Chain A
Amino acid sequence: MRLPCPCCGDRDIREFTYRGAALARPGEGAGIDRWDDYLHLRDNPAGAVRDLWYHGGGCGAWLVVERDTVTHAVDGARLAAEGL
């Protein structure tokens, strides 16, 4: 499996670390339910997902990767710094 890093090009999966779904962090003062959702609740869909990967074995960029958990197809990756 390979991911297309916007900085480095197609790179082997072993250079990356998976984090999980690309979710927005609750703001200061958010309620406990909102935090519970952010910390613990995931959809685990069979199909399209957007998740965060770290190119630790490369440029150090955090990426938002769009891929499919059924076909394993990767539709694209962009810098998470540009927004989730």
Chain B
Amino acid sequence: MRVEGYGLVDRARPVRFSFDGQGHEGFAGDTLASALLAGGMRLMGRSFKYHRPRGVFTCGSEEPSALMTVGDTPNVRATVQEVFAGLEARSQNAWPSLKWDALEVNDLLSPFLGAGFYYKTFMGPHRLWERLFEPVIRRAAGLGALSGARDAARYEKAFAHCDLLVIGAGPAGLMAALVAARSGAEVILADEGARMGGRMLLEDEEVGGLPGTLWADEVLAELAALPNVRLMPRTTVTGAYDHGTYGALERVALHLPDGDAPRECFWRIVARRAVLAAGAIERPIAHPGNDRPGVMLAGAVRGYLHRYGVAAGKRVVVFANNDDAHRTVQDLHAAGVRVAAVVDSRPEVPRDAPWPVHAGAVVAATRGRLGLEAVQVRGAGREIWIEADCLAVSGGWNPALHLTSHMGARPVWNEAIAAFVPLPGAVPGLEAAGAAAGVMDTAGCLADGLRAGKAALKALGRRTKAVSLPEAVAEVGGIDAFWQVQAKGRAWLDLQNDVTTKDVALAAQENFRSVEHMKRYTTQGMATDQGKTSNVTALAVLADATGRSIPATGTTTFRPPYTPVSIAAMGAGALGDGFAPQRFTTSDSAARQRGAPMIEAGLWYRPSYFPAPGEATWREASDREVGMVRQAVGVTDVSTLGKIDVQGRDAGRFLDFVYTGRMSTLKPGRVRYGLMLREDGHVMDDGTAARLNDGHYLITTTTAAAGQVMQHLDFVAQVLRPDLDVSLMSVTEQWAQFAVAGPRALELVNAVTDAEITDAEWPFMSCGAVPVAGVAGRLFRISFSGERGYEIAVPARYGESLWRLLVAQAEMLGGGPYGMEALNVLRIEKGFLTHAELHGRTTAFDLGMQGMLKSEGDFIGKAGAARPGLLADDREQLVGLRPVGAVKQLLAGAHLFEAGAEAVRENSQGYVTSAGYSPTLQSYLGLAFLKGGRARLGETVRMVDHLRSVQTLCEVVAPQVFDAGGGRMRG
């Protein structure tokens, strides 16, 4: 019901929305909860386990009960979601309807579904678990469900830096921000509300002689006008992390119909100092029947009146153990809402009031199926039922200190306010102020905020500009700790996870006495609200049950996030093409124009094959391309291989230290194959080292390991051998490089170079500068195909035109471009390696390259590779495979077994690393690691692929099966 003359909503702007298909009306400035309450709706959801009817319990982000699905987003808190025209909300966890929920039967079964029930189902036969418990529990329990559809909405992430981050824009936060802002500090003021002002929006109080909301508006107007201040409303600071980093979720457009703006933005804010002014969260008293729709926190009832002009009921009973709740009574009475009774657990309460006061009394029961109808008051030895549609409960206030626990610190108990307060210095650079620090009166909050702001300025080394403290209410109400009513019936603690005081007592009885154990056994505080309203009360109940004090019982730490953060916001931008950076070669568009399907190679994209007219499958294209290279000439882009420029007086000595071979003896103009080991003796990478000049080498790495090798070389140069004069630079992206391979490769090279290339001047493994179509290029006579091969490099800006020129010229020679499939087959025919073989667990010995380890001088991995275990004869060694039985297929990843052995793990003799069909030899070929393989050439082994159900008998052969002597590439 709306109350005339109250509320900050804009009554001139009605907003129509729907709940469970029914039309409702609210006003601009309403939340879903306030608008539904205004319409007299109390039933808003069903509980997690027992499917109990539930209403709204709070008026803030701590809401445990009023969760709804809005559009396609489940578990939206109705207390946070602002209404907008056309908003569609649906209730959750109820079938067929919110009023008639079939699974209400769970409530009757509740004696069997208490704490630990779930774990006890594990104890039965496991078939019972799989077939009965698990599916039934999954269907019955839970909150909102995901649609399963792809989230097409936009999200964003952003970064910000500041001197001072103020978390919460209530009285304390505003004062801290104001003094810092006036003093010139870069300030970010973040508040989770749509409107800033914090608790002042929910109270009827004066600050500095003005209504609190007006005072807040004046401060906010001043802050908004300052260039060094960023105001971030609708932004919840969700986590405190190392070195002044904070996570924050901004609800950018969740209060609007879907449009161009992102729904949410996840911020990483780096702040030199921070003030936590997040206020306090009220807690209930656990009493039987305290979960019915209509039972709410007293501060929330007051808040709905002042902020939204909504009376939460027509006849309200207030039940409390503290003075603050009596403000709710006064404010409701002043607004003309009938207060049916005030029930205070304390015996000494003033009774001269215009409403019935029950001192030293408790609420012992409630009635009402889908909403509260009456409460039973027990006191002075008698019990009476009082009709009420709203019960406003307060057990006191807990400082919202969660962020101070995010780095592991536990809060400390403060007896005076019967609550936990932050441990000072718990998060370096962050200080709590105001109610978050346990200061519960407005004047105190203003002063504490100012103090914290000044302290931050001092730490920042800034001078403080004078700010005067406005006058405000300075009373701190009294409180007598009171946690639970001892009476028959279930008293709820965690409304969202359906945890009762009995569950906590049962946990203690079954010896889950530590808070952490109790929490996990009962699931207390483990729902999406993380027990914000219930954790401390549950702890007190556990303390009772175990006969310990609250501080002795302890508390759990809070972890990020403070409120749920959608993964879509945290991962904003990382979907589809945004998932990883994409690297394109200079020939990329030319390859795509020819219809080449591109495959990923690390972050690079490389052509798989170049389809020709009439080819139906990739194999046809690949076979043709292999034949083209073996018989005429092929061109492929090898720019993705890592290229590292190594220069300096000691470049040769440096390379001697990182390669197993000797590079210092290489003559200028020559290239040598090299193997790099890790310090533990395993192969890191292979490639070539080309000596361009005396003090100038260019080395290549595999595509996959380019980054790793660069990092490794930097490590060696800076950390292990700072004595050597050497400079390193990655030039992978500066040079476009194309391999030209085949019997007619020389003709093709000569078609594009300005100087004549001859075998006499350019023997196998030579290199040097060469002009290419007027551009200063480089030529390397190396081969990864086993054919006569060259690699031509030009500065990247000429890459595309050289590629097009090479392809056109190659086609005139009966050749053309070839892709990764053909490249792979060509190298398997030759037994050349890639990271399928150099996968990090293989040694030079395993690869049959033990001879490449020089005996003179130290190098990386020398000692590691000499360890006896890495040289054992039964190690898996590189071999080639050829099918010899009826099945002709070889598959990478399949394991090898002795021909007659059972194909089980214990009998594995090795595995296939690379496989492909060789059109040259008209057979599948494979490379594999086989135990003691080099001594088993000629043996028949069985390849078994359990995943693809393929079994193939193979002959073990040498890895190089084509042109083993290398005559073709040496030319």
Contacts and interface: CB of A to CB of B under 8 A. Distances in A.
Contact of B719 (A32, A38, A80): A80
Given A30-B863, A35-B863, A72-B243, A25 B722 contact: no
Contacts of B694: none
A78 B241 CA distance: 24
Given A2-B243, A74-B243, A54 B715 contact: yes
Contact of A73 (B245, B428, B711, B718): B428
Contact of A35 (B242, B243, B864): B864
A32 B867 CA distance: 8
B719 A26 contact: no
A26 B718 contact: no
A25 B711 contact: no
A79 B714 CA distance: 12
A73 to B, nearest CB: 7
B132 interface: no
B146 to A, nearest CB: 29
Interface string B218-261: 00000000000000000000000111010000000000000000
Interface in B690-724: 707, 710-711, 714-715, 718-720, 722
Interface in A55-84: 56, 60-62, 71-74, 79-84
B858 interface: yes
A56 B713 CA distance: 12
B720 A25 contact: yes
Nearest to A2: B243
B955 interface: no
B243 A61 contact: no
Contact of B241 (A1, A56, A81, A83): A1
Nearest to A52: B719
B898 interface: no
A21 to B, nearest CB: 12
A39 B679 contact: yes
Nearest to A79: B718
A83 B270 CA distance: 32
Contacts of B720: 25
A54 B707 CA distance: 12
A60 to B, nearest CB: 6
Contacts of B714: 54, 60-62
A56 B712 CA distance: 11
A62 B863 contact: no
Nearest to B270: A2
Contacts of A39: 679-680, 864
A19 interface: yes
A71 B864 CA distance: 36
Contacts of B711: 17, 54, 56
A84 B719 contact: yes
B441 to A, nearest CB: 34
A28 interface: yes
B718 A61 contact: yes
A7 B303 CA distance: 54
A83 B241 CA distance: 31
Most buried by A among B428, B718, B722, B857: B718
Contacts of A62: 714-715, 718-719
A61 B714 CA distance: 8
A54 B428 CA distance: 26
A2 B244 CA distance: 9
A4 to B, nearest CB: 10
A28 B241 contact: no
Contacts of A60: 714
B863 A26 contact: yes
B912 to A, nearest CB: 30
A25 B718 CA distance: 13
Given A28-B858, A39-B680, A54-B711, A72 B719 contact: no
A62 B863 CA distance: 24
A83 B710 CA distance: 20
A1 B241 CA distance: 7
A79 B715 CA distance: 11
Interface string A42-54: 0000000000101
Contacts of B270: 2
B855 to A, nearest CB: 12
Nearest to B679: A39
A26 B679 CA distance: 11
A81 B722 contact: yes
Contact of B718 (A38, A56, A74, A81): A81
Contacts of B867: 32, 35
Contact of A1 (B245, B428, B715): B245
A15 to B, nearest CB: 13
A72 B863 contact: no
A17 B858 CA distance: 27
B709 to A, nearest CB: 12
Contacts of A80: 718-719
Interface string B674-685: 000001100000
Most buried by B among A17, A19, A27, A54: A54
A43 B533 CA distance: 43
A80 B722 CA distance: 9
Most buried by A among B242, B245, B270, B867: B242
B715 A19 contact: yes
B406 to A, nearest CB: 12
B719 A81 contact: yes
A28 B863 CA distance: 8
Contacts of B242: 1, 72
Nearest to A54: B711
Interface in B453-476: none
A26 B680 CA distance: 12
Nearest to B707: A56
B720 to A, nearest CB: 6
A1 B864 contact: no
Contacts of A27: 858
Contacts of A17: 711
A79 B711 CA distance: 15
A5 to B, nearest CB: 13
Nearest to A3: B243
Contacts of A81: 718-719, 722
Nearest to A64: B719
B680 A1 contact: no
Contacts of B245: 1-2
Contacts of B407: 72
Contacts of A26: 863
A38 B860 CA distance: 13
A50 to B, nearest CB: 13
A24 B719 CA distance: 9
Contacts of B679: 25, 38-39
A1 B242 CA distance: 5
A52 to B, nearest CB: 7
Nearest to B715: A62
A53 B920 CA distance: 49
A74 B244 CA distance: 12
Nearest to A60: B714
A39 B428 CA distance: 35
A84 B720 CA distance: 10
A3 to B, nearest CB: 9
Contacts of B707: 56
A23 B243 CA distance: 26
Q: Which 10 pairs show the lowest CB-CB distances between chains A and B?
A: A28-B858, A1-B242, A81-B718, A80-B719, A62-B718, A72-B242, A81-B722, A35-B863, A2-B243, A62-B719
Given A1-B242, A25-B720, A54-B714, 11 more contacts: A1-B241, A2-B245, A17-B711, A28-B857, A39-B864, A52-B715, A56-B707, A56-B710, A62-B714, A72-B243, A81-B722
18 contacts: A2-B243, A19-B715, A26-B863, A28-B858, A30-B863, A32-B863, A32-B867, A35-B864, A54-B711, A54-B714, A56-B707, A62-B718, A62-B719, A71-B428, A72-B242, A79-B718, A81-B718, A83-B722
Interface of B: 241-243, 245, 270, 407, 428, 679-680, 707, 710-711, 714-715, 718-720, 722, 857-858, 863-864, 867
